[in-house]
Chains A and B, each alone.
Chain A
């Protein structure tokens, strides 16, 4: 760990829904310019961790800082890709318009999007291979295409840190490829990306480092050191029936 201010620093954070704790005493400092996978079973608090970092949920304790300052002062540095199911895709709007929403933060209270903003939004759509769907009503897009529109919206934010909530869930191969491509580009630009992820098979392939989460932070660090059978069993308990083949390969080579 360098002495530079980490992009994301979580100090002793706890979150509770009603009285039930969903995250306990998480302390974590993220590396810079890496793609970090947030891994854990259902109900482990992965989405909650992201929402807590973004100030969408009240913290029961602890502190989150983005490059050393509270999130409320660093909003422009952060891009967010919510879960696809979190919005109503029958909303009367088109793909380009959804991407433009990513720029509302920079526009401030009263300014309206102009042609330069439309160009930026189109550029973001092009990066995810969706430029020909710009004028398409969003309910007429497939699930994967909707996910790419959300991704483009976050790209348009031109942030330093990205939080993506399960972008790979239920998408087609073309979309998965597009997302991986985008993750690579972001990493080349030295941006830090956090991705809530479910598919253990692809973890080693996609992420430089991981956070293993199950109410508590089980382990975190470089994927090749931390993503081990032992840690996974600690994270998933008895529920993990089959271990991914890569993991076994990894272990046999160690």
Chain B
């Protein structure tokens, strides 16, 4: 029972923190960035492993975060030179991922660096990897990692809400009134890197990529205010975790898969029945209007 609660709580924290930042990714049309980051950190993990000689989480986390940020910097440099946004993204992360694969095949063949376990964690094991602090069991390590990343994002976005909003909506005006647009871009990308890395090592890449996009896209359909969109996406993330876990118990299926499926289902509902933009809603309104004339 306790372990169920840990899984739901960890899942909710990860889903909410990803969804929160995902709102800005969607508004900046960078939805696939999470996917890019989750691949591009492979060389960072391998290098951290080679340098530290261990599979301690901290060096791995730092290596991964550095390469996640490096990937976003390369993407931005390419875009500034006129390469299309999606092409720049694909070129950067595939190249970095390939470097990681080459490093593994060159240096780590004799060592046990299980890619599946490093890259694609499983949320079901989260309760067994706990954090002990001065002798007290504090609960799953992943939960603390995700919680810390979420808190960091909340604080930074709250402090610079104006700047994040304006640089997302109208970067030209932002620049004209003296907001350092590039710094806020990298600040956001840094937060996405940290959140991605803190999350997917324990819960799997698919869940992270899904949670970066789907709850935010759902919230986008339901509201016309940025603040409300941020709040809604966090709520949707939490709902995905709770309902997804219950569904996985019922079906006896993959937890991350079920959480992602719930997210997809909620998106479909919003797509069809959103009060302003829903496909069915608009059809219904048109039908009523026709009946009037």
Contacts and interface: CB of A to CB of B under 8 A. Distances in A.
Contacts of A80: 172-173, 176
B172 A86 contact: yes
Interface string B187-231: 000000000000000000000000000000000100111101100
B172 A92 contact: no
A104 B163 CA distance: 8
Given A104-B174, A105-B178, 4 more contacts: A80-B176, A86-B170, A94-B224, A109-B163
B162 A112 contact: yes
A101 B159 contact: no
Contacts of A137: 224
Interface in B240-286: none
B223 to A, nearest CB: 6
A82 interface: yes
B82 interface: yes
Interface of B: 27, 29, 82, 159-163, 165-166, 168-170, 172-179, 220, 223-226, 228-229
A87 B170 CA distance: 6
Contacts of B226: 91-93
Interface in A86-139: 86-88, 91-94, 98, 101-102, 104-105, 107, 109-110, 112, 137
Contact of A18 (B82, B162, B169): B82
A93 B225 contact: yes
Given A87-B169, A93-B169, A104-B166, A78 B224 contact: no
A72 B223 contact: no
28 contacts: A18-B82, A51-B172, A54-B176, A55-B176, A72-B178, A75-B177, A78-B176, A80-B173, A82-B170, A86-B170, A87-B170, A91-B27, A91-B168, A92-B27, A92-B223, A92-B229, A93-B224, A93-B225, A93-B226, A101-B165, A101-B166, A101-B170, A104-B166, A104-B174, A104-B177, A107-B162, A109-B163, A137-B224
A55 B172 CA distance: 10
Contacts of B224: 92-94, 137
Contacts of B179: 104
Interface of B is mostly: helix
A241 interface: no
A53 to B, nearest CB: 10
Contact of A101 (B82, B173, B175): B173
Interface residues of A, number: 29
Nearest to B82: A18
B173 A92 contact: no
Query: Which of A75, A78, A104 lies at the interface centre, i.e. has the most chain B CB atoms within 10 A of its CB?
Result: A104
A104 B177 CA distance: 8
A98 B225 CA distance: 11
A173 interface: no
Query: Which of B162, B177, B226 lies at the interface centre, i.e. has the most chain A CB atoms within 10 A of its CB?
Result: B177
A1 interface: no
A86 B178 CA distance: 18
B169 A105 contact: no
A242 to B, nearest CB: 34
Nearest to A86: B172
Contacts of A18: 82
Contacts of A56: 172, 175-176
A49 to B, nearest CB: 14
A102 B176 CA distance: 11
